Amino acid sequence: MGTSTDLTFGAAQLPPAVAQAAQQILDRIENDEVDEDLIHQLASLGPLREKALIDHRATGAVFTPYPIAQELVDLLDVGAGEIVCDPSAGSGVFLLAAAERKFQRGESVTSISKTLRGIDIDPVSIEVSRLTLKLWAASKGGQWPSTDHLVVGDGLLDVPEKWLGTCDVVIGNPPFLGQLKSETSRNRGRAQALKQRFGSLYTAYVDESMLFFLLAVELSGEDGRVTLIAPSSTLGSDSSQLAREWIDSRLTLSGIWIGGRSVFESAAVDVVAPILRNDKRDECLIVRYETQDVLAVQRPLPGCWSSLLARANGVPAIAITATRRLGDRAVVTADFRDAYYWLAERVVEATRNDHRPKLVTVGLVDPFSYRYGDIPTRFAKQRFQRPVLDIEDNPPTQLGAWLEQRLIPKLLVATQTRIVECYADIEGKLLPSTPLVSIIPEQESELWHLMAAVSSPPAAAWLASAAAGTGLSQGTMRLRASLIADLPLPEPSKTWDVGAELAREIQEKGVNDEAARRFGEAMNQAYGLPSSELLHWWISQIPKKRP
Ligand SMILES: C[S@@+](CC[C@H](N)C(=O)[O-])C[C@H]1O[C@@H](n2cnc3c(N)ncnc32)[C@H](O)[C@@H]1O
């Protein structure tokens, strides 16, 4: 090709490995060695920049592999002439994939350079993205202009005003900065600035990636399309519920790309990319990256993005109409940290014929059973076979009050599960350790009815639809007390009475397929959902008895 380019690299801040690789690419271009592989060599500058980073965690800098960026650019069907923006551009992998796609569709390099926008907080990454696009332009026989639309800044706070409402496509992989870990949590000044910027949609625990979704919707023009890679927990987390509802009121969720856990080599996290566009159809598409399966399902209710993941995981779609929620009939609570600290000082191994209160941990609760003594459990960094609480005669007042509220008949629910795992503590002798959820019926006589409702197939499907992806993997959910309290209850009926009786029987005698089928059938009827699909799905999810 013999293009002469005015590339200047080796700029002070470029990592040496990047400058060296860029020189090799330039040599190839100048020697007319441009072939299909060159694009991958260009895309490799990003990972070299990533390797040079000292700490990825604070800015969530985990760069996207080129084939993934390509796949998402294709899914959004990026067209010639469209304005494409990546609000946390990193080293520009999405812009590179968009440039290539636009070029293939007949757009000139000059036009492409005017229609790509990127912002990143890291000046070196922006420099790498500029270098990548300069080399790309040279490889096409064109020239990247000296003034482009790649800027250094905080995307959430400094994005250029004139970009708002004018992008055809907003695409990228924003930083995932969970707010429960100190190394990724925001400082107070930034939290205040973000609160001012996003108003009531900002919540203290909202993941940074969800704020980028809000920004992306603001950047998007009326007929714009948006997709950002995000941790699957954002689909159902409580902290981003308001943000999801607001987004759904502006653009519609038209699909979801399920990336799974294998997308990023350096971060084992389950990822998804919700796809938003102005789309009036009732259907949503689910695309699975790992298998390339595509599934069309009904669009979820506003803010209920988890339900798409639930559908992808095979959870049947259900609609429950109810006049009462569990929280109307019971107190639903996950204990607080103080209780944990008290317990930590007082839990000991049981002696023979010990009558002290037993400690329950989440790992011990299975559907209809409690494995105390069968398997060891860990609590406060110690291993116990039969943990009991050694309480002094005069416990601190608050601890005494807490013990009184917990040592009563109740249901205990594990929090990281595929279906609901609930055990009825009928004698009120078990003490829950956080994050186990306690359900304390207002009327003790309703204990087994509530147990049947919470343990039922409709409850499992309803909760999975609301919280799929919020657990440690895409197939599990993290059940928070407020969500469990929201669970719809069936109307009083004979079938619910039968379900309650069967729940008691199963807890006493153990779960087997026949008992589970009879219980599931009764509760499906009680909820007005006599569905064999729901029943089969639920039975298939019951964990096999552990040895
Ligand atoms: C997960 S990386 C992805 C980069 C690129 N979009 C990609 O897919 O390869 C996230 C990027 O966001 C940048 N970043 C972090 N906080 C930011 C902010 N507030 N505004 C703009 N960029 C930010 C990081 O520097 C990093 O480059």
Average pLDDT of span 127-141: 96
For residue 49, pLDDT over 90 is answered with no
Alpha helices by DSSP H, listed for 199-297, are 208-219, 241-250
CA of 92 to the centre of ligand 1 (A): 10
Q: From 44, 62, 88, give the residue whose CB has the most ligand 1 atoms within 8 Å, as the site to mutate.
A: 88
CA of 13 to the centre of ligand 1 (A): 18
CA of 35 to the centre of ligand 1 (A): 30
pLDDT band at 335 (very low <50, low <70, confident <90, very high): confident
Residue-level pLDDT at 59: 66
Mean pLDDT of the chain, nearest integer: 91
Site residues for ligand 1, CB cut-off 6 Å: 46, 59-64, 86, 88-90, 93-94, 119-122, 125, 154-156, 172-175
Residue with tokens 């159809």: 281
pLDDT band at 378 (very low <50, low <70, confident <90, very high): very high
For residue 547, pLDDT over 70 is answered with no
Q: Where are the domains of the chain?
A: 55-311, 324-541
pTM score, two decimals?
Answer: 0.90
Average pLDDT of span 249-272: 88
Q: Within 10 Å of residue 512's Cβ, how many Cβ atoms?
A: 11
CB-based contact 40:239 (threshold 8 Å): no
CA of 154 to the centre of ligand 1 (A): 9
Structural fold of domain 55-311? Rossmann fold (3.40.50)
**Cα angle value 7/10/14 (rounded, 5°):** 115
For residue 3, pLDDT over 50 is answered with no
In percent, the amount of the chain with pLDDT more than 70 equals 94
pLDDT band at 10 (very low <50, low <70, confident <90, very high): very low
CA of 284 to the centre of ligand 1 (A): 28
Q: Lowest mean pLDDT of 1-10, 304-313, 525-534, name the range.
A: 1-10
Average pLDDT of span 79-106: 97
For residue 546, pLDDT over 70 is answered with no
For residue 417, pLDDT over 90 is answered with no
Residue 123: half-sphere exposure toward Cβ, Cα within 13 Å: 4
Phi-psi map region of 370: left, alpha, beta (phi>0 left; psi -120 to 50 alpha): beta
Determine which helix (DSSP H) or strand (DSSP E) holds 437, and give its type and residue range: strand 437-441
Determine which helix (DSSP H) or strand (DSSP E) holds 127, and give its type and residue range: helix 123-139
Strand partners of residue 151 = 119
Residue-level pLDDT at 483: 95
Average pLDDT of span 266-290: 90
For residue 178, pLDDT over 70 is answered with no
CA of 141 to the centre of ligand 1 (A): 30
Highest mean pLDDT among 61-70, 110-119, 201-210, 400-409: 110-119
Q: From 18, 48, 59, give the residue whose CB has the most ligand 1 atoms within 8 Å, as the site to mutate.
A: 59
Average pLDDT of span 499-523: 95
In whole angstroms, what is the distance from residue 386 CA to residue 231 CA? 37
Q: Cis (ω within 30 of 0) for the bond into 435?
A: yes
CB-based contact 293:232 (threshold 8 Å): no
CA of 113 to the centre of ligand 1 (A): 21
pLDDT band at 396 (very low <50, low <70, confident <90, very high): confident
Taking each continuous run of H as one helix and of E as one strand, the counts in the chain are 21, 26
Residue-level pLDDT at 155: 96
- Ligand 1, atom 12, lies closest to the CA of 88
CA of 62 to the centre of ligand 1 (A): 8
- Ligand 1, atom 27, lies closest to the CA of 90
pLDDT band at 180 (very low <50, low <70, confident <90, very high): low
Residue-level pLDDT at 268: 77
For residue 264, pLDDT over 90 is answered with no
In whole angstroms, what is the distance from residue 183 CA to residue 521 CA? 48
Average pLDDT of span 158-178: 94
For residue 7, pLDDT over 60 is answered with no
DSSP conformation letters of 369-412: EE-BTTB-EEETTEEESSEEE---SS--HHHHHHHHHHSSSEEE
- Ligand 1, atom 25, lies closest to the CA of 122
Residue-level pLDDT at 1: 43
Query: Residue 228: is it exposed, middle or buried by C-beta count within 10 angstroms (0-12/13-18/19+)?
Result: buried
Going by DSSP bridges, is the β-strand pair 324-325/377-379 parallel, antiparallel, or unpaired? unpaired
277 phi and psi, to 5 degrees?
A: -160, 165
CB-based contact 265:236 (threshold 8 Å): no
Q: From 56, 120, 154, 186, give the residue whose CB has the most ligand 1 atoms within 8 Å, as the site to mutate.
A: 120
Q: From 121, 154, 210, give the residue whose CB has the most ligand 1 atoms within 8 Å, as the site to mutate.
A: 121
The whole-angstrom distance between residue 60's C-alpha and the CA centroid of its chain comes to 15
Average pLDDT of span 321-325: 94
Q: Which atom of ligand 1 is nearest to the CA of 90?
A: 27
> What sign does the CA torsion over 481, 178, 198, 90 have?
negative
What would the pLDDT profile of 443-477 be if each residue is shown by its tens digit? 999 999 999 999 999 999 999 999 998 887 777 88
Residue-level pLDDT at 176: 83
Residue-level pLDDT at 341: 86
- Ligand 1, atom 9, lies closest to the CA of 63
Residue-level pLDDT at 8: 61
pLDDT band at 504 (very low <50, low <70, confident <90, very high): very high
For residue 101, pLDDT over 50 is answered with yes
- Ligand 1, atom 16, lies closest to the CA of 59
CA of 286 to the centre of ligand 1 (A): 26
Determine which helix (DSSP H) or strand (DSSP E) holds 112, and give its type and residue range: helix 109-115
CA of 170 to the centre of ligand 1 (A): 14
Going by DSSP bridges, is the β-strand pair 283-288/294-298 parallel, antiparallel, or unpaired? antiparallel
In percent, the amount of the chain with pLDDT more than 90 equals 73
Q: Which atom of ligand 1 is nearest to the CA of 172?
A: 6
